[in-house]
Structure 1
Amino acid sequence: MLDQTAEALNNESTQSSLSAEQYKRKMQQRKTVQAKRLAERSQQKGLIIVHTGNGKGKTTAALGMVLRSLGHGFKVAIVQFIKGGWEPAEKAALNQWSDQLDFHAMGEGFTWETQDRDRDIQTAQLAWDQALAYIQNPAYKTVLLDEINIALKLGYLSVEQVLAGLDQKPADSHVILTGRGAPSPLIDRADLVTEMTLVKHPFKEQGIKAQAGIEY
């Protein structure tokens, strides 16, 4: 009921027609409802977070969470499953947190670059072994498994082994899994799922290639 009330109060389409006094009363009501919602939600737990969909920004959003964790002084691990055929710029940018962050770019690039399925499977399995060690380690508050959904989609990893690994994480640690095509069992298991929707992309619409600082 409180969620429905909050949603109604957040309807901005009617706010422009309110008088100053009406607007003030509405904001006071919103504050009261929000305080009650927060009071009801006092529980904390480690989350399984999935960023998927065809739109851009899945890794970028996950790195924002990584930065927040680092800012709080937490230990973080990043394992990149597909990227890795080049040195990712984000790794260089995060080097200043080398005492808190372990970063492994363990992929060998896009599948059309490697052209060797058996090798891709072996690489993905090695990356998963490394990721699982971090997932199980209570010293790490946040573990980012970048592009692991692609490895699952292509069959380099099984959904069953990944779900079994997630079951082994400490109760208060967070695991973020990115990449398009996240399988339904993973989405069902996750606590937070965001789907990035593609509306426009310069590569498709304008023939603009990937650019430093935007795509890599």
Structure 2
Amino acid sequence: MVDHAAPDEAARHAGKKARIKAARDRLMAEKTGEKGLILVLTGPGKGKSSSAFGMVMRAMSHGMRVAVVQFIKGAMATGERDFLLTHFADLCEFHTMGEGFTWETQDLERDRAAAARAWTKAKDLIRDDRNRLVLLDEINIALRYDYLDVGEVVDFLKSEKPPMTHVLLTGRNAKAELIGIADLVTEMTVVKHPFRQGIKAQAGIEF
């Protein structure tokens, strides 16, 4: 059975929502700026790259050209890379430049060299203003371990990023210098994770 609100309750509800809408409309009317954003997704929780690839898909749905550089992930196949290269190679340029997680390579100089190659590729893609969104997946890990100089990354983004290009940087432990210049920063937290219950990474969820 559906409960129907009394007339005075319905009127109060409508009046409240009308006031909220009017305030929201005023707020939105004041937001007229447009720019290419620097976006940072960080924190220990799952979902940073997943969210980033959601933005990649959203940008492509608007006909925007995008590019992806993966700083840590290596040869292992991932669903997002296979999907984008198979179906959207005309809109998405994808470069997997890492050699796997740091505990797999166990070679500092090799990790630094891989990060340097990835950063060189990233700079070329960002400078190309045909790319409206460039995702630097897990660059924060390379910065955390000082495989790259965070000052150089920050200076490049401030001085050479085209005005309307969005750059999205993911990975836990984002450095303060990067957070300082970002337009948007989201920190993912851990509440529960199946790995802690002895469940391995699941296809379609983790990769």
> TM-score, normalised on structure 1?
0.89
Deviations 1:45-86 (A, max 9, x none): 110000000000000111111111100001100000001231
For residue 94 of structure 1, report the CA deviation from its aligned partner. Answer: 1.3
Question: Could you tell me which amino acid in structure 2 is paired with residue 185 of structure 1?
Answer: E
Which of 12, 22, 36 is the matching residue for 1:22? 12
d(CA) in 2 for partners of 1:88, 1:126: 21
Q: Where does 1:13-92 land on structure 2 (aligned, <5 Å)?
A: 19-92=9-82
- Give % identity: 52
Question: Could you tell me which amino acid in structure 1 is paired with residue 42 of structure 2?
Answer: T
- 1:197 is aligned to 189
- 1:153 is aligned to 144
RMSD: 1.0
Secondary structure at the aligned position of 2:34 is classed as: coil
| Greater Cα shift, 92-101 or 75-84 | 92-101
d(CA) in 2 for partners of 1:31, 1:136: 40
For residue 19 of structure 1, report the CA deviation from its aligned partner. Answer: 2.2
> TM-score, normalised on structure 2?
0.93
Question: Could you tell me which amino acid in structure 2 is paired with residue 136 of structure 1?
Answer: R
1:99 aligned to 2:90?
yes
d(CA) in 2 for partners of 1:152, 1:73: 31
Secondary structure at the aligned position of 1:59 is classed as: helix
d(CA) in 2 for partners of 1:152, 1:62: 18
Deviations 1:2-49 (A, max 9, x none): xxxxxxxxxxxxxxxx92221111111111111101110011011000
- 1:169 is aligned to 161
Deviations 1:134-183 (A, max 9, x none): 11111110000000000000111110111122121111110000000000
d(CA) in 1 for partners of 2:96, 2:21: 44
Structure 1 alignment gaps of length 5 or more: 1-17
Secondary structure at the aligned position of 2:36 is classed as: coil
After superposing on structure 2, the runs of 4+ consecutive aligned residues of structure 1 that deviate more than 4 Å are none
Structure 2 alignment gaps of length 5 or more: 1-7
- 1:144 is aligned to 135
Question: Could you tell me which amino acid in structure 2 is paired with residue 113 of structure 1?
Answer: E
- 1:124 is aligned to 115
d(CA) in 1 for partners of 2:155, 2:128: 15
Residues matched between the structures, number: 198
Secondary structure at the aligned position of 1:19 is classed as: helix
